[in-house]
Amino acid sequence: MPISTPEIDTAKATVAFHTLGCKLNFSETATIARDFDPNHYQRVPFDGPADVYVINTCSVTDNADKRFKTLVKKCLKHNANAFVAAIGCYAQLQPQALAAVDGVDLVLGATEKFKLPAYLNDLTKKESGEVHSCEIAAADTYESSYSLGDRTRAFLKVQDGCDYKCSYCTIPLARGISRSDRLDNVLRNAQKITEQGIKEIVLTGVNIGDYGKGEFGNKKHEHTFLELIRALDALPDLERIRISSIEPNLLTDEIIDFVGNSRCFVSHFHIPLQSGSDAILKRMRRRYLRGLYVDRVNAIKKAMPNACIGVDVIVGFPGETEDLFLETYQFLAALPVSYLHVFTYSERPNTEAIHLDGVVPAAVRAKRSKMLRGLSAKKKRDFYQQQLQSKSVVLFEAANKSGYITGFTPNYVKVMTPWNPDLVNSLHAVRLEKIDPSGAVRFSWI
């Protein structure tokens, strides 16, 4: 299907956005974009010419940092005189480094990014990037965000920041303390999303299980995550809600039981593990050991036998010997989880881990990452195999992928069928039949 090119209004400045990183970044990019006055700005695709390019940066991995420079070069190829603004986590952590990148005109930190339009009164190219970045301790207020860019699902931010002190993580340095949106505001935003015809909401944040802390600007919890999901489930117009990621020590039996019996929360959990070795978990300063993780997985499978469980895992952390890596590999191989998100450890400035001994060579990190990605592929196929011949309801997505339309079941099984635009953003009952060579599942209509 050909993609139509928007007609450009030459009286307006054109602005394009690109997001690196997580669902939280996507929700914030969408909100910042909506703040641009449509009388003065026209949004255009990022892969074409624009007067202003906005790059929302990430600093979770070294690769995300490197991609920023590549993106800036692409912007300037489209328009050598374009005004380039950098916002987001890396912009807060390393503002001067980003400002020094050739072609960057503006760098905004954690709080300033939400005022981006106010910094764009003069779009003249700068000799060097202008920096507006607060001390992270000042990032103590909450900014609501949600995305509306996808007709099928929306990312709804409910929480920001983190009070945990994991030894490898820069997110508290980039986003500040844990703080939450007001419950009534979350419900209002969820209602706004459903009024746009969007069928699925994904709850997102830095540490969403900590929801309620800082809800009214203080440190105590006004509400809990359980109270939040109960209130959302009671909204009559919502079709599906998915929890993006939740720490295992904050995933209570009550939350699991509620999701298992809820009206619109789907049976899909993503639970960070990071390592299957207690020795490494302690070095990472995680707030649990592997026994708790096993308990959480078993509790989910008892309540929802067909639940999909995703896992974050880091390989090559300092001190991870071959034996400790194999401990993680065997731990994951034995767990009834559905897929892995594998991250190769990379040294981050101003973290405790950068000073730890036992540095793992890059080639060894790459080998271990490859092994776990192979295990993930096997886990995913085994999970899909277990779902065959079952009935489910698929929400179809908007993209035409080489003549096919894809969609997802509540428990995150990806299905495919020949492209039909009438299926976009619709829910249909199906029977899962067989796994296609592409990895998605073919089905029959019910």
pLDDT of residue 53: 98
Res 134 pLDDT > 90 = no
Distance of alpha carbon 382 from alpha carbon 376, whole angstroms: 10
228, 215: one domain: yes
The sheet with strand 13-19 has its strands ordered as 41-43, 13-19, 52-57, 83-88, 106-108, 130-132
In a domain, residue 104? The reply is: yes
**Mean pLDDT of all residues belonging to the chain:** 95
407-435 pLDDT, tens digit per residue, is 999 999 999 999 999 999 999 999 999 99
Q: Which of 134, 158, 188 marks a domain boundary?
A: 134
Average pLDDT value for residue range 264-277: 98
For residue 439 the two structure tokens come to 């990895």
For residue 160 the two structure tokens come to 């920001």
Burial 241-258 (b: 16+ CB within 10 A, else e): bbbbbbbbebbbeebbeb
91, 149: one domain: no
95, 110: one domain: yes
Distance of alpha carbon 156 from alpha carbon 144, whole angstroms: 9
Sequence-separated (6 or more) residues with CB below 8 Å from residue 249 = 209, 287, 288, 292
Which band of pLDDT confidence, cut at 50, 70 and 90, is reported for residue 165?
very high
In a domain, residue 7? The reply is: no
Compare 441 and 3 and report the one with higher pLDDT: 441
Res 30 pLDDT > 60 = yes
pLDDT of residue 250: 98
How many C-beta neighbours within 10 Å does residue 407 have? 24
The strand ranges marked E within 276-419 are 308-315, 339-344, 391-396, 404-408, 414-418
- CATH assignment of the domain containing 65: 3.40.50.12160
DSSP code for 124: P
In a domain, residue 83? The reply is: yes
172-224 pLDDT, tens digit per residue, is 999 999 999 999 999 999 999 999 999 999 999 999 999 999 998 888 899 99
Q: Which of 108, 134, 160 marks a domain boundary?
A: 134
3-state secondary structure at position 206: coil
In a domain, residue 156? The reply is: yes
Cross-strand bridge partners of residue 311: 271, 340
In a domain, residue 256? The reply is: yes
Average pLDDT value for residue range 244-254: 97
179, 110: one domain: no
Res 231 pLDDT > 60 = yes
Distance of alpha carbon 57 from alpha carbon 172, whole angstroms: 15
Number of domains in the chain: 4
261, 170: one domain: yes
333, 403: one domain: no
- Name the residue range of residue 183's domain: 136-266
Distance of alpha carbon 170 from alpha carbon 61, whole angstroms: 10
In a domain, residue 251? The reply is: yes
Average pLDDT value for residue range 329-335: 98
123, 82: one domain: yes
pLDDT of residue 10: 59
For residue 206 the two structure tokens come to 């830095």
87-124 pLDDT, tens digit per residue, is 999 999 999 999 999 999 999 999 999 999 999 999 99
Cross-strand bridge partners of residue 418: 404
Cross-strand bridge partners of residue 19: 56
Average pLDDT value for residue range 349-371: 97
Locus of tokens 């939350």: 255
61-77 pLDDT, tens digit per residue, is 667 667 899 999 999 99
How many C-beta neighbours within 10 Å does residue 437 have? 5
Distance of alpha carbon 277 from alpha carbon 327, whole angstroms: 6
In a domain, residue 123? The reply is: yes
185, 110: one domain: no
115, 229: one domain: no
Q: Which of 134, 157, 181 marks a domain boundary?
A: 134
pLDDT of residue 149: 64
141-152 pLDDT, tens digit per residue, is 999 999 986 668
380, 397: one domain: no
pLDDT of residue 1: 42
- CATH assignment of the domain containing 220: 3.30.750.210
140, 249: one domain: yes
Locus of tokens 């897929």: 339
Contact 59, 348 (CB under 8 A): yes
279, 350: one domain: yes
Which band of pLDDT confidence, cut at 50, 70 and 90, is reported for residue 139?
confident
% the chain with pLDDT above 90: 90
- CATH assignment of the domain containing 421: 2.40.50
pLDDT of residue 59: 81
Average pLDDT value for residue range 235-250: 96
The strand ranges marked E within 360-402 are 391-396
In a domain, residue 60? The reply is: yes
Contact 123, 84 (CB under 8 A): no
pLDDT of residue 400: 94
pLDDT of residue 65: 67
pLDDT of residue 3: 46
Which band of pLDDT confidence, cut at 50, 70 and 90, is reported for residue 5?
low
pTM over 0.85: yes
Res 298 pLDDT > 90 = yes
Sequence-separated (6 or more) residues with CB below 8 Å from residue 125 = 81, 83, 105
- CATH assignment of the domain containing 346: 3.30.750.200
Burial 106-138 (b: 16+ CB within 10 A, else e): bbbbbbbbbebbebbeeeeeeeebbbbbeebee
pLDDT of residue 2: 43
